[in-house]
Amino acid sequence: MRFGVVGTGAVGARVARILSAADDVESVAVCGRSPASAAEVVRAVPGTVAAGLGDLQRVEAVVLATPSGTQWPLAVQLVRAGVAVVSVSGDPAEVRGLLALDVTARERGVPVVLGAAFSPGLTCVLAAHAAGWFDTVSAVHVARQGTGGPACARRYHAALGRVAWVWGDGTWLRRRGGSGRELCWFPDPVGPADCYFGALAEPQLLIRLFPEAAAITARRAADRQDRLTCRLPMLSPPHPEGGLGAVRVALSGESLGESTQRVLGVAHNPAAAAATVAATAALSLAAGEARRSGAMGLAEALVPLNFLSGLTERGITPVLFEGVGL
């Protein structure tokens, strides 16, 4: 199997390393924003080769790990060439654009997997898996804490100052970025954090899985400084590597005639988790595990339990929150 990776940052370099170490992988073509960045990854990761955009049309699947908002043009080229695409973008506008490639992707017979990262991505798979415990799902609420590399940090900084769209009572509702404060408990050792609405992609991906849900929301953790400066450039340069982060997915609904709730989460380095999700998705596509061709979210494309098993083998372990009586 041959793969391509576009992007050499905190996520892209890790994706190349995971893919190159997998069984039956012949080569991983790496394309960066500059030849120097690609050469740096190639020197550090055995089994990778520096490549141009034209070389990516001869691989089984390409992971797009460039900053959100930059992936659509390349995705169009790859889909037209009949190459499967895995996108880590979490930008709502770009996700809508990538979903619009559905007809072309179906005609070419290739899958385009969207939001294949920590959040969105793993969050959607957790929700799809948890849905198996319900007869009906009435609400899905997602929250995340932490960021990956610099591009991820900038995007989530800006997301807090942009309009959020959430699903409620059968329609899309506009919410001001930075509103909707809710205290969310993440898996240890991250713990609790105040979370707020922002321009996040989960609702538009989750509504495809839960069209009958009464509420679908997404929030991100933020402190006072984040909320005050979200409409300005970041006050200090983001760290090359994000620290520990976490995601949390809460589902409400009915099971055996009773109202119930399930909450799942994962604590991990966001960049490492995003890379693991994206690489595992690419390997699954190359193995023919996609449910169909066309543009779709990660949880639509692959069987959730099988995918989570693959992540567990690579060190990403979801946890289930369980209430304790007092």
**268 close to 247: Cβ distance less than 8 angstroms:** no
**113 pairs with which residues across the strands?**
86, 296
Q: What is the pLDDT of residues 280-308, one digit of tens each?
A: 999 999 999 999 999 999 999 999 999 99
- On the question of pLDDT at 181 being above 60, the answer is yes
What confidence score (pLDDT) does residue 237 get? 66
Q: What is the mean pLDDT of residues 186-214?
A: 96
Taking CA atoms, 101 is separated from 68, 79, 105, 185, 279, in Å, by 17, 8, 6, 37, 21
What confidence score (pLDDT) does residue 198 get? 95
Percentage of residues of the chain with pLDDT beyond 70? 96
Residue 240: band (very low, low, confident or very high) from pLDDT cuts 50, 70, 90: low
What confidence score (pLDDT) does residue 54 get? 83
What confidence score (pLDDT) does residue 171 get? 96
Residue corresponding to tokens 């001869």: 58
- On the question of pLDDT at 157 being above 50, the answer is yes
- On the question of pLDDT at 50 being above 80, the answer is yes
pTM over 0.85: yes
Residue 326: band (very low, low, confident or very high) from pLDDT cuts 50, 70, 90: very low
Contacts of 188 (CB under 8 A, 6+ apart): 267
Long-range contacts of 256-264 (CB under 8 A, 24+ apart): 256/135, 257/135, 260/133, 260/134, 262/130, 262/133, 262/134, 262/320, 263/320, 263/321, 264/126, 264/129, 264/130, 264/318, 264/319, 264/320, 264/321
Q: What is the mean pLDDT of residues 158-181?
A: 93
